[in-house]
Structure 1
Amino acid sequence: MDVSKLLAAMTPEVYERMSFAVETGKWPDGTPLTSEQRDSAMQAVMLYQSKYNTEAQHMTVAAGGEIKFKTKAEFKREFATSPESTSNTSSDIARFEHDEL
């Protein structure tokens, strides 16, 4: 299949399903991928990312085809400003006795 036709036919939902399959080794319904399916899905995911991935995460293909690598400092900044890191501002720890559990 022609690359441009493949990318035109690939919706974001199809991309997500293929990306899940490549990451986990199985389709969303639980069926394992064959090695040929894994290779083809990985190529399709990388092609899709190279065309549409404008906000590339670490170790993904960014728009333009380059692999995005983040530095340690970039990760620290990203996690320092993430909503998860600021949602629990209390430093209290819940403590229980063994017989209270």
Structure 2
Amino acid sequence: MDEHKSVRLHVASVESTSDTEVVCAVRNIGGEASVGMIFRSSVSPAIAVRLIEILRYGRSFSILDQAYTAKVTFTGPGAAGIAPGEVLVSTPE
């Protein structure tokens, strides 16, 4: 059986939002995040977003290792509800 290990991203700041997309700076505080993963807000679990882009130093990456900070883009219903200070936790698909 494949056990899901949660990834935790701390939202440091929000740069832009729309109804279905948010661009923010995050710090990975646990696990290895990768493009395509789904995250839920620890503050409002009804918010579920998919990680679609990771940028570090202006370059695109497919993963974000623990302890690193990056500018990321999430998409999904409720994306505009993500706020600085909250933690996004990965969920199995």
Q: Which TM-score band applies after superposition, normalised by the shorter structure?
A: under 0.3
**Higher relative contact order (CA closer than 8 Å, sequence separation 6+):** 2
TM-score for the superposition, normalised by structure 1: 0.19
Structure of larger gyration radius: 1
Q: Which has the higher strand share?
A: 2
